[in-house]
Every structure is written in C-alpha cells, then in structure tokens.
Amino acid sequence: MSARLSIRSYTRVMHAHRHDYCQLVFPLHGTIQISIDTAAGTDRVQPPSNQVGPGRCAIIPSGATHSFSADEQSSFLVADLDQLPEPMTDLPTFFVSISSPLLTFCQFVECQLQHRHNPVLNEEIGALFLSLLLQERFQARHDPRISRTMEYLQQDLSQTIQLAELAEIACLSLSQYKTLFKQQTGLSTRQYLLKLRMDKARALLAHTDYPISIIAEHVGYQDLSAFSRRFSEYFGQSPKHFRT
C-alpha cells in the first residue's frame, strides 16, 4: 500500500469525476461539500452527501463518481491510495471523524509539502501517514451533543466530572445522556474516561521522563498505588514495568 499526498484547493463551481484509485480528503482550513455515488459497488449506506470540515475525513472508494465544491480559500490534504487501509474498509459511511493527533499530523504535512520538494522525505512522510491511519479508530460523526461532552472530558483528564454536569453540557436529562453516550461510543462515560486516562498515561510513560506520581496526577489519580493497580489491570503490567 502506498500514499501520494498533496495539498489542494477547489472552487465553488461543482466538479465531478471518478478515478481508479482510492482517495481520502482531509480538510485543513474551511469545508468542502462532497457527494459520492453510493452505487459504485460499496455497502456504505450513510447519506452520500456531506459538508466536511477540519477533524473529519471523506472516503472516496476506487471507481466512485464524486462531485465537490469548496471556497477558494479552503485547503485540503488529499491522499491518493492504491487501496484503503484496513480500518477504513468496513466502515458504513463515507464520512468519519479523525483524532486530534491525526489532524495535527495532517497540518504538519501541509507545512512540509509547502516548504520544499524532497521526494525522499515525501515518501517517508507518506509511509508514516499510512502507519497512523492503520492505528486510527475511525467513527461516524457523533451526535453534536455527545461530541461536546467528549471534548470536555478530554480537556483535563486530571478532573473527575459528574455525570449530571456532562448531561447539562449535552442539554439532556441524565438518563437520556447516559443512553445516548453509550449508543454513540459503545462505552459508558466511566469506561470512556478510563480509556482516555490509560491511553494518556501509557503515552506519558513511553515518551516523557515525568515521575510516575506526576503522570498519575495528570490522569486523575492522587493515590499512586490506586493508579498502579488500575494501570496493571488495564494493560497487564505495572507502570514501572511498562516504562522499563
């Protein structure tokens, strides 16, 4: 599998075409309106037309006719692929949300590609881009009410937020919030927060020299032993053992 990356802009005039390779479109600045032919040999059943902005990705399968338009000031990272990465092959939609780290990498690619032409570096960036795609957990767009609570939870993992506060942020009753959050994420709020905390703790252990006690505080544990027990239960090894 290979990826050819480029930075593109379009016009407000609607264009339509098709090609014999797959394509991913990542908005960096502004939005793009894309309509994708759902009859092009795909099982994706989500609405074929969408406006896509930063933090989302449009998936254009090989052979799918698609039409698109955008403001001339908008810019997009476009990846031409000989095949879709495995995490994207069975998605039920053409439009998915992407993680903040992947969006940040796309913005980094924009700076590099616009800086100078270096074929070797561009090939290495393309390989790293594919590696990140293979690790990404793509999801269809969340209900905006749940998206607000997810973003709020991620802002400060050191704090434990009450469900009632999250329900208020979502403008839902407590029971409605709990039901919708589980439907949208497949996890309860407690499980989702635990995943965020453990993933963050593992990253800090691997890539920083912070003392384990400080890392524990960063992810909401004032008691070091409680953090160590939870980390060990989650990953099957202690924080100290993981770091070594």
Q: Are residues 9 and 103 in the same domain?
A: yes
With contact defined as beta carbons under 8 Å apart, do 238 and 216 qualify? no
Q: Are residues 127 and 156 in the same domain?
A: no
Side chain identity at residue 244, one-letter code? T
Look up residue 203 and give its two tokens: 């990253």
Residue 35 belongs to domain spanning: 3-140
Give the ranges where 29-160 is alpha helix by DSSP (H).
Answer: 86-89, 100-115, 119-135, 144-155
If pLDDT is split at 50, 70 and 90, which confidence band does 148 have?
A: confident
Quote the CA–CA distance of 124 and 110 in Å, as a whole number.
14
Q: Are residues 136 and 190 in the same domain?
A: no
Q: Are residues 92 and 193 in the same domain?
A: no
Q: What is the pTM of this model?
A: 0.64
Q: Are residues 127 and 195 in the same domain?
A: no
Q: Are residues 227 and 120 in the same domain?
A: no
CATH number, position 124? 2.60.120.280
Domain boundary among 117, 140, 163: 140
Instruction: Pick 56 or 79 by higher pLDDT.
Output: 79
Q: Are residues 7 and 85 in the same domain?
A: yes
pLDDT of residue 42: 52
pLDDT of residue 43: 53
Q: Are residues 126 and 167 in the same domain?
A: no
For residue range 217-236, list pLDDT tens digits in order. Answer: 999 999 999 999 999 999 99
pLDDT of residue 146: 85
Buried b (16+ CB within 10 A) or exposed e, 111-126: eebeeeeeeeebeebb
Q: Are residues 51 and 127 in the same domain?
A: yes
pLDDT of residue 45: 47
Look up residue 118 and give its two tokens: 């270096």
pLDDT of residue 130: 92
